[in-house]
Amino acid sequence: MSQLKRTPLYPVYKDEAKLVPFGGWEMPVQFSGIKAEHERVRTRAGLFDVSHMGEVEVTGPDALALLQQLMTNDVSTLESGRIQYTAMCYPDGGTVDDLLVYKRSDERYLLVINAANIEKDVEWIRKHATGNVRVTNVSDETALLALQGPQAETILQKLTETDLASIKPFHFQEEVRLGDVRGLVSRTGYTGEDGFEIYLPAEDAPVLWKRILEAGEEEGVAPCGLGARDTLRFEARLALYGNELSASITPVEAGLGFAVKPGKGDFIGREVLAKQKEEGPPRKLVGLEMIGRGIPRSHYPVYVGEEEVGEITSGTQSPTLKKNMGLALLQSEHAQLGNEVDVDIRGKRIPAKIVKTPFYQRSKQ
């Protein structure tokens, strides 16, 4: 087994966090506890080290053409300073990865990809690169902090003169001075709350981590691990690659049809995805609430009567709802809201019903 990678923040929190292997990285799964951290992000603010995520620069006169060929979303509609969520697919519609595209200028884009997929994605992108375009993997020298929660803006504003209220959701600003360091500040996240993601040089990350925790003491900011990140994104129904998306699951099946634009022209996977959007996909991602006692977990089979109709992709006890919930990929004919199904929980069939997603949605002001 190869050595686990560590982020530049590892030395800062190694003694206070519980560390686990995740996608080839040694990452903090929790600091004080998953439920407490989850609650903190929903009510105040949480700070996450997500430096394991990958960053790839795509630049040059043919950058847009390459991205249009690779991405399911229409990158040509993206304006400078804005961010687009998209998928990247195989010819059969299966998903290579889901990612964010940052447009810096007409010939400069930044892609933010999943940690476990970095090598695969970079290889895939380079394989399709033609003409005058450069693909640079800057993951190792880039750190990423996520400050999430209703108090995120108040806290981060203390460190900068840039008006953060002017950075709207899915917008970003580069070279923002935050105390002694500079970074790209993006109004994005993976928790279902308001918040920011800050990209900065790896060596500056420890300083900013400490500054944010100090600045947010009054507002109750807490360091949070990947455990809470997972329960937060789960409640907000944000897909996790490897669970809701994979090489054998299309973005349309995963309910991400909004990021698939067959009308934009040719791209990899278009034929299959266009058909699925038009006729409906063979499987659909649904939310489940357990009726019987038990917690659904990833890969547990789901039955209607004696017929296996799909499986759980993610499941846990929702810390906000205090209910046992799951996301499941089911054959479309069984995916209607309100239907009852059985989840095979370690050999026992436990009833559940299909409910609306997301399980949690923050109230907008």
Q: Which CB, 127 or 346, lies closer to another protein?
A: 346
Cα separation of 330 and 352, whole Å?
Answer: 13
Q: Which CB, 4 or 20, lies closer to another protein?
A: 20
Q: Which CB, 8 or 319, lies closer to another protein?
A: 319
Question: Should residue 326 be labelled a site residue for another protein when binding is judged by CB under 8 A?
Answer: no
CB of 193 vs another protein, minimal distance in Å: 18
- The residue from 150, 189, 319, 326 that contacts another protein (CB under 8 A) is 319
Question: Should residue 293 be labelled a site residue for another protein when binding is judged by CB under 8 A?
Answer: yes
Question: Should residue 317 be labelled a site residue for another protein when binding is judged by CB under 8 A?
Answer: yes
Give the N- to C-terminal CA distance of the chain in Å, as an integer. 49
Q: Which CB, 14 or 18, lies closer to another protein?
A: 18
Cα separation of 139 and 205, whole Å?
Answer: 14
Per CB under 8 A, the segment of 7-15, 177-185, 238-246, 312-320 that binds another protein is 312-320
Question: Should residue 192 be labelled a site residue for another protein when binding is judged by CB under 8 A?
Answer: no
- The residue from 82, 126, 297, 349 that contacts another protein (CB under 8 A) is 297
CB of 295 vs another protein, minimal distance in Å: 5
Cα separation of 66 and 61, whole Å?
Answer: 10
Question: Should residue 139 be labelled a site residue for another protein when binding is judged by CB under 8 A?
Answer: no
- Which backbone phi and psi does 261 adopt, to 5 degrees? -125, 80
Question: Should residue 296 be labelled a site residue for another protein when binding is judged by CB under 8 A?
Answer: no
Question: Should residue 351 be labelled a site residue for another protein when binding is judged by CB under 8 A?
Answer: no
Which is nearest to 198 in space by CA: 166, 228, 229, 167?
Answer: 167
Question: Should residue 231 be labelled a site residue for another protein when binding is judged by CB under 8 A?
Answer: yes
Which is nearest to 143 in space by CA: 266, 15, 54?
Answer: 54
Q: Which CB, 69 or 324, lies closer to another protein?
A: 324
Q: Write the DSSP string, 37-60.
A: HHHHHHHSEEEEE-TTSEEEEEES
Question: Should residue 73 be labelled a site residue for another protein when binding is judged by CB under 8 A?
Answer: no
Question: Should residue 324 be labelled a site residue for another protein when binding is judged by CB under 8 A?
Answer: yes
Question: Should residue 364 be labelled a site residue for another protein when binding is judged by CB under 8 A?
Answer: no
CB of 229 vs another protein, minimal distance in Å: 11
Cα separation of 255 and 250, whole Å?
Answer: 9
Helix (H, G, I), strand (E, B) or coil at 209: helix
Each residue 20-49 as x (binds another protein by CB under 8 A) or -, in order, gives ---------xx--xxxx-------------
Q: Which CB, 35 or 128, lies closer to another protein?
A: 35
Question: Should residue 18 be labelled a site residue for another protein when binding is judged by CB under 8 A?
Answer: yes
- Which backbone phi and psi does 85 adopt, to 5 degrees? -85, 135
- Which backbone phi and psi does 289 adopt, to 5 degrees? -115, 130
Question: Should residue 17 be labelled a site residue for another protein when binding is judged by CB under 8 A?
Answer: no
Question: Should residue 223 be labelled a site residue for another protein when binding is judged by CB under 8 A?
Answer: no
Residue showing tokens 């060929």:
69
Cα separation of 363 and 193, whole Å?
Answer: 9
CB atoms within 10 A of CB 26: 16
CA angle 168, 170, 175 (to 5 degrees): 75
Cα separation of 19 and 83, whole Å?
Answer: 31
Which is nearest to 200 in space by CA: 139, 144, 158?
Answer: 144
For residues 123, 127, 129, 135, the Cα torsion angle rounded to the nearest 10 degrees is 20
Say whether 197 counts as a known binding-site residue: yes
CB of 5 vs another protein, minimal distance in Å: 21
Number of residues that bind another protein (CB under 8 A): 19
Question: Should residue 314 be labelled a site residue for another protein when binding is judged by CB under 8 A?
Answer: no
Cα separation of 195 and 146, whole Å?
Answer: 7
Q: Which two tokens stand for residue 131?
A: 């003409």
Q: Which CB, 171 or 297, lies closer to another protein?
A: 297
Residues that bind another protein (CB under 8 A): 18, 29-30, 33-36, 227, 230-231, 293-295, 297, 316-317, 319, 324, 346
Annotated binding-site ranges for substrate? 197
Annotated binding-site ranges? 197
